[in-house]
Amino acid sequence: MKRRILFISGTRADFGKQKALMQAVKNHPNFNLSIFCTGMHLMSKYGYTVTELQKAGFSDNIFHFLNQVEGESMEITLSNTIAGLSRYLCENPVDLIIIHGDRIEALAGAIVGALRNQLVGHIEGGEVSGTIDDLLRHATSKMAHIHFVASSIARQRLIQLGELEKNIFKIGSPDVDVMLSDNLPSLDEVRQRYDIKYEHYAIAILHPVTTEVHMIKKAVTTYIEVLRKSGRNYVVVYPNNDMGSEHILAAIEQLKELESFRVFPSLRFEYFLTLLKNSEFIIGNSSAGIHEAPVYGVPTIDIGSRQRNRFRYKSIRNVDFSQEQLLSAIEEATQAGRYESTTHYGKGDSAQSFIRILESQTLWETEKQKPFVDL
């Protein structure tokens, strides 16, 4: 009998991270893939990105669950997701739940799995950022039974959290598989698809910091002013839908009519990667500037506290929401050009490692009653 593996996906970002793993599971003769698709994927305002899962060939594997409407608080979204996933599993039992990262949907998956005595695997636990995401990520890890980490330092942090070493597997960051593949579209294809007329551009993505919601209006005002004053071309992508995102969306509106800006609710993952790979730099506070940009050697201007405890590399500049600092960082980034690529998050073989682990009978014998390991 095939092992039934359920992935939970709520955003364009976690789908990008899990896509290679989903495809590997789907192609395996001994596994049956299903995807609990929820969150921002089903919100038209953010691009209704469930279509990206469908275009990737997963149409027959997807269950749609709308866990929120615009403006609902994070705790209500968490509650809705727990209820929806629990009911789904009552009708569609699985052998393993796979969750990613630090979003509400991942925490919901971990809680449901733990309380239903259901095996849960967590991708990219053990990371640190600097905001409430840390709390969500670590809580998710403590609920999960198996860990697929991106780096050695992440593995060590999970050991510090009292997790069993034998249940922690270093596989790298799965999106690197896609990043280094030969299947990315050409830059000409991407520019034609999204009507991007300029050859030289940077990528701008700013997310709200929920623990600093009182500062968002001022911060985004500075950010937009700097982008305009810099005199450069930008591909701007909508923020996630965390508390405070409405202020960023309102500010972005004023850019849509300007010739040097192209604004998108979302971009197809492979197309985004091609744009990133060929950009002058990325500016904002997206994890793409920390995880993905250094793989291509693209300079990152990381603003504020959202990623302040993340991996640091010579291509990443961290600055405050200061016009002077930001304009200076833009000048430095454009002059610096490309950096040497980093392999901190792997070499593009995550899916292969993931499948090899799933093929081991030992994994399926993992105890669901978790001990706490003292150091």
Give me the active site residues, please.
Answer: 214
Partners of 319 in the β-ladder: 303
Residue partners of 305: CB distance under 8 A and separation at least 6: 130, 131, 209, 212
Partners of 123 in the β-ladder: 100, 148
Yes or no: say if 147 and 125 are a contact pair by the CB < 8 Å rule. Answer: yes
H helices of the chain, in order, are 12-27, 50-53, 74-91, 104-115, 132-143, 152-160, 175-179, 187-193, 216-229, 245-253, 269-277, 293-296, 323-336, 350-358, 361-364
Distance CA 238, CA 231 (A): 21
Structure token digits, residue 232: 């450069």
Residue partners of 103: CB distance under 8 A and separation at least 6: 10, 11, 14, 39, 136
Structure token digits, residue 90: 């009552």
Name the residue with tokens 């866990």. 67
Structure token digits, residue 123: 């991708």
Judge residue 57's burial from the number of C-beta atoms within 10 Å of its C-beta, 0-12 exposed, 13-18 middle, 19 or more buried: exposed
Residue partners of 184: CB distance under 8 A and separation at least 6: 178, 270, 273, 274, 277
Yes or no: say if 136 and 108 are a contact pair by the CB < 8 Å rule. Answer: no
